[in-house]
Structure 1
């Protein structure tokens, strides 16, 4: 039988007319035919990790019974229409969780105060990031990293154990992803590239003069520093490579308004009707859908709620902040309000799944080809053994959902990340954190 060679179109292809060059949208013919061990090499996989700080009301979280037909709990009731597209895992645990430092080990298993390791999204970004404008995207309700505090604002860590800063303004994120560059932007960027390149060259030249003159400890410290510089050089090379490629222009007919800034850092204190979390939450989730749809990135992290501060907004209609509610003392009102807040967050999650499910992608939907994992650093009562862990999407990547799956006691949360990395087709050598391996029960 004669083999058929797949037509391959370079992503830099332009349609050229008289004095005009227009970039093509991302087409199937542009998909890389790499040796990734994806269940289907013609599918572009995506993944995202989500953190809900300070746990949830686990007394009203887990479905009743197990298997596909498990009865939805109060908190998960908004997801009834997405049955078949998610699995709730009970018995996941985070060895160094259970307290307000839980965001630190959430993605890596490494507790606060110890040197972090490469996070799962960055493991994926090292492979898939070579095909996208942004290797990964960090999002959060709080801007920056929050490093050193309990309210960590990011889940992403590079090879040097350095946290990657997150963005919390939907407008800033939208502009970064989709706003066309002006001629002034291009000129400024070109000048910035030259300056950054010159500085990096000087640093590398100066560092060579120190080699051989330092003690072992100092040499190790210098090597770590130089690795960071090399990483910056790679980033600069990427920026230059993508600089002249037009950004995608997504259709926004049924999306929100991304022309105005919404500062998540001020959300908890305004309470004046100008900031509505319902608007903010949907803008952020929709941005993830747009980023994946346009293949701007394939790996995203999002801190939906940080530890301690925030988590409750005026329109929620509850009497206390989220952290205060978690110290419920078995008071019925506290538990009721905690469940009410958690249900609101799941209403937003349902909107997100609907958005992804409504976007056609190849022979399926964007939700079919995207894995979304969420959990927390604790459960109710600050427990590290009762976590609100859910995997959504990914049926086209070999995920077979069953609504509620009871895992073995103390199944490491890292096993969820290991499963997602595996379905992204990214090989992992050796141990993966404290994982016992992939969660085979959800793999078809």
Structure 2
């Protein structure tokens, strides 16, 4: 560790006109000769959830066997092969709390609206919506108390909260994965420029931000003096870490600028799409995930939830040979072609998740990496999309959870064990105690 005359606060930021840039954990932020303090400071848990719509074909997701470490990865899990040592696959969990045999249509809305709370959403398209506080927000109660952002909610979709989206259910249930309270869905942001400004802007006027967007200046240009002052205070290792971090910020800025330039010269489809949203889905996901990594690295937030697409998504994926809509092929009816296309989409979504895992594995954090400290959950609100049931959900956990989560495991539980039991377990692992969520019966053993 580089010993400096003065230690820096973990909340040290680079300030300039229109910018406040948080920093990653540096050696100078921990007093010299305080190994114990360094360990505590570095071991900050992060928790993130990634929602995939329309379920996954169970036999192409869940490994065979009764659990353990000796299992073969299924086609859907294949993209995570390089990170198997940090992977836990869970079989047998169900979200029965969202099942309502007497309510008829609306199964997609119920599966998503109750994914992280286990609550059957109230059927309404008015303002009297009601679901339940979600797992991520229980975590944010504690983990978000000391960060600039309590939590960060992201999506690749538009986020309208009103109207009837499915059989009398409000669109809020389809477009918000996170709920602060039973009546407060949190809006998810899809515009990378807005997310970037939220992370690194200073909250200035909209006019000032728009003016900056139209120039080639980086937000880092306004903190140049702060950078120079910081460099004089820290050692060579910290200077290198800061330089790499700032280069990552600048790279994201350039990608956003290229997107905005392209979207101003290329006719957009007749949809409500902000200028900063990439036309290319993979680029869109990549930008949002890269900014999530920066937010975790700089300790701007420790909790996040990202919607990869909304339920009943009709998105097509011609880049992977799937011109059909996702929702359409999820109704496979055991047709071999539909199953193949359905599985391709699930594999593709897992490959995008794998890119995030790789980036976190390569991002230093204290004496380890971001992946060492994090718990990431990727999953869906349905098991088999053709059955429209929240049984035997596809659940993949990645990360080390500050030493709380082992990898290379397939955990198999008795069928219909409450998914909310896993929620209690994850909360315990990040230091949050909650007695019960919906139909939970207690934390899972063996996780």
Task: Report what 1:216 is aligned to.
Answer: none
Contact 1:364–1:396 under 8 Å retained in 2: no
Gaps of 5+ in 1: 1-6, 32-38, 189-244
Is residue 127 of structure 1 aligned with residue 142 of structure 2? yes
Structure 1: distance between partners of 2:80 and 2:52: 17
Task: Report what 1:92 is aligned to.
Answer: 93
Structure 1: distance between partners of 2:193 and 2:418: 36
Taking structure 2 as the reference length, the TM-score comes to 0.72
**What are the equivalent positions in structure 2 for 1:13-412 lying under 5 Å apart?**
25-27=23-25, 42-65=42-65, 66-97=67-98, 99-100=107-108, 101-113=110-122, 115-144=130-159, 146=161, 149-150=165-166, 152-159=174-181, 161-179=183-201, 250-252=246-248, 257-259=255-257, 260-261=259-260, 275-380=279-384, 381-412=387-418
Structure 1: distance between partners of 2:392 and 2:271: 27
Contact 1:154–1:301 under 8 Å retained in 2: no
Structure 2: distance between partners of 1:346 and 1:14: 34
Structure 2: distance between partners of 1:57 and 1:96: 21
Q: Deviations over 1:119-156 (max 9, x none)?
A: 22222222222211110111112232546534611111
Contact 2:68–2:410 under 8 Å retained in 1: yes
Decide whether aligned partners of structure 1 residues 423 and 268 sit closer, same or farther in structure 2, where only a CA change above 3 A counts.
Answer: farther
Shift of 1:290: 1.2
Contact 2:383–2:390 under 8 Å retained in 1: yes
Task: Report what 1:35 is aligned to.
Answer: none
Shift of 1:294: 1.0
Deviates more, 1:75-84 or 1:314-323: 314-323
Shift of 1:334: 0.5
Task: Report what 1:425 is aligned to.
Answer: 431
SS in 2 for 1:257: helix
SS in 2 for 1:436: coil
Task: Report what 1:237 is aligned to.
Answer: none
Deviates more, 1:351-360 or 1:277-286: 277-286
Shift of 1:360: 0.8
Contact 1:87–1:404 under 8 Å retained in 2: yes
Structure 2: distance between partners of 1:339 and 1:14: 44
Shift of 1:295: 0.8
SS in 1 for 2:85: coil
Deviates more, 1:119-128 or 1:22-31: 22-31
Q: Deviations over 1:26-49 (max 9, x none)?
A: 546768xxxxxxx96751111011
SS in 1 for 2:68: coil
Contact 1:96–1:102 under 8 Å retained in 2: no
Decide whether aligned partners of structure 1 residues 254 and 96 sit closer, same or farther in structure 2, where only a CA change above 3 A counts.
Answer: same
Shift of 1:328: 1.2
Shift of 1:277: 1.7
Structure 1: distance between partners of 2:292 and 2:423: 19
The size of the alignment, in residue pairs, is 363
Structure 2: distance between partners of 1:326 and 1:142: 19
Task: Report what 1:225 is aligned to.
Answer: none
SS in 1 for 2:424: helix
Structure 2: distance between partners of 1:399 and 1:301: 19
Residue among 422, 428, 434 paired with 2:439: 434
Decide whether aligned partners of structure 1 residues 359 and 410 sit closer, same or farther in structure 2, where only a CA change above 3 A counts.
Answer: same
